[in-house]
Amino acid sequence: MLLERIYDHDLAQASYFVGCQAKGEAVVVDARRDIGEYLDLAQEHGMQIVAVTETHIHADYLSGTRELAAATGAQVYVSGEGGDDWQYGFDASRLFDGDAISIGNITIAARHTPGHTPEHLSFLITDGAFSDAPGYLLSGDFVFAGDLGRPDLLDEAAGGVDTRFAGARQVYASLRQVFLTLPDYVQVYPGHGSGSACGKALGALPATTVGYERLNAWWAPYVRDGDEQGFVDQLLNGQPDAHAYFARMKRQNKEGPAVLGAMPPLKQLANDSVARSLDAGEAVFVDSRPHTDVHNGTVAGSLNIPGPAKAATYGAWAYDPETDGQPLVLLAPDQMTAQQMRNHLVRVGIDRFAGFTTHLAGLPTTKPATIAPAALDTSDIKLLLDVRNKTEHADGHIPGSHQLSAGRVLWHLDQLPADGTIVTYCQSGVRNSVAASALRRKGYHVVELAGSYAGWSEWNDGRQ
């Protein structure tokens, strides 16, 4: 049996390639939308991808299940659990608790593990050439290394009302009825790692075991002692802000993401044509450089989406393809980097690109406004905006600041003043630059705090 983990460090997301060498067939679980890596794996191992499936309706990225099936002719399998409100809206074979996908001697059995979402499945894998019992669990967003999938996202991202409490109790039941009934040696491969917003304390390890979690996870004593209410309270406490784009991902993944097909190479554009498109409002310029470079000069009205490493994360905060219809012009040093940027952005449903340019010469440029920490007390500020997570704000913030995380700010403009100066900060300046550029593009007068909270803290400590 072949079991490969394909990890996206941008979104802290894992997908899995499960293959039978004897039969030359493979199944992909939780594919992302840029599918080249799965096709390369299949070619490398001389396998055909015959089935694609996913653990649940994802909220943090746009599923590549349909994309990969269209490219390979593979059969699509999705959960049929969760009730009428959580049925997928596209053609696929439905999997229910106990159903299985088989390739050669390998059996991939679905177990219904609701809580993070009502329809959630985990997959128990048995390598029949080696054992009659399952040895691996693809746990999706049910069990992570050291943590559990948050049950409040339906409230945060899908318009639910207090569904988190029932979800937390379902997680508790899923642990007791499924996870803890497995032998300690079963290896657990989760759908996310450290940095994901799908939990509050995810570990960085790529895998764990049932036995290790049974002994060491924070939730183990609550389940062992039968303390359901204590478990619910602890699971729901301190969850990070859910990014606003999650609502769009949830809806599109349920309906069925559009299939892109083979994407042609990005065109390199002449800057005189870029300038005309920007002047006519027919394109959006994306400055992919670090914020320290952007502060020395960037295209007026541009979005700062540092990349390509975190382009999906930051792009989904700064650009909403449902309301921003203009295609993107990417600033990148070369075509390969530009196409890496595109690959990351399509993972969150940002699909329209005019092309790329390698320099700013000939384009209208400006320097984003900044303010030193020492000048805060004497400046005319309408709002001091902390764009870090609520948990970071609770741990310490600049007095008088209002918290609204960078991943939510564009969708909560009602919390901002219609005129006057907004001073923004994060921890180091990266997230702040992304959010500030998005707000400027919406017409707000935004000034970034130089050094952000770290800089302010150093200055504040020095004057005490």
Q: How confident is the model at residue 325 (pLDDT cuts 50, 70, 90)?
A: confident
**103, pLDDT greater than 80:** yes
| pLDDT for 194 | 85
The yes-or-no verdict on residue 203 having pLDDT over 90 is no
In the predicted model, is pLDDT for residue 379 greater than 80?
A: no
Q: Give the domain 2-255 fold.
A: Metallo-beta-lactamase; Chain A (3.60.15)
Higher pLDDT, 324 or 137: 137
pTM over 0.85: yes
Q: Label residue 73 exposed, middle or buried (CB < 10 Å: 0-12, 13-18, 19+).
A: exposed
CATH number of 271-366: 3.40.250.10
Query: Which among 56, 351, 4 has a CA at the least distance from the CA of 198?
Result: 56
% of the chain exceeding 70 in pLDDT? 100
Average pLDDT of the segment spanning 263-268: 95
* Domain extents in the chain: 2-255, 271-366, 370-462
Q: Decide: 331 and 423 in contact? Cβ < 8 Å.
A: no
**CATH topology identical between 271-366 and 370-462:** yes
Predicted confidence at residue 462, as pLDDT, reads 85
Mean of per-residue pLDDT scores for the chain: 95
Q: Summarize the confidence of residues 209-227 as an average pLDDT.
A: 97
Confidence of residue 119 (pLDDT cuts 50, 70, 90): very high
- pLDDT, position 415: 96
For residue 363, name the pLDDT band (cuts at 50, 70, 90): very high
Q: Taking 90 as the threshold, does the pLDDT of residue 196 lie above it? A: no
Could you tell me the pLDDT band of residue 195, with boundaries at 50, 70 and 90?
A: confident
One of 3.40.250.10, 3.10.180.10, 3.40.50.1820, 3.40.1500.10 is the CATH number of 370-462, namely 3.40.250.10
For 30-86, how does the pLDDT look when each residue is reduced to its tens digit (9 = 90+)? 999 999 999 999 999 999 999 999 999 999 999 999 999 999 999 999 999 999 999
Q: What is the pLDDT of residue 393?
A: 96
Residues 6+ apart with CB under 8 A from 397: 386, 388, 403, 453
The band of 166, judged by pLDDT with boundaries at 50, 70 and 90, is very high
> For residue 3, what is the enclosing H or E element?
strand 2-8
Q: Which string of b and e fits 178-204 if b means at least 16 CB within 10 Å?
A: bbeebeeebbbbbbbbeebbbbbebbe
pLDDT tens figures, 401-411:
999 999 999 99
> Which residue type sits at 283?
A
Report yes or no: 164 and 213 within 8 Å, Cβ to Cβ: no
Query: Are the C-beta atoms of 38 and 49 separated by less than 8 Å?
Result: yes
Query: Mind listing the pLDDT tens digit for each residue in 428-463?
Result: 999 999 999 999 999 999 999 999 999 999 999 988
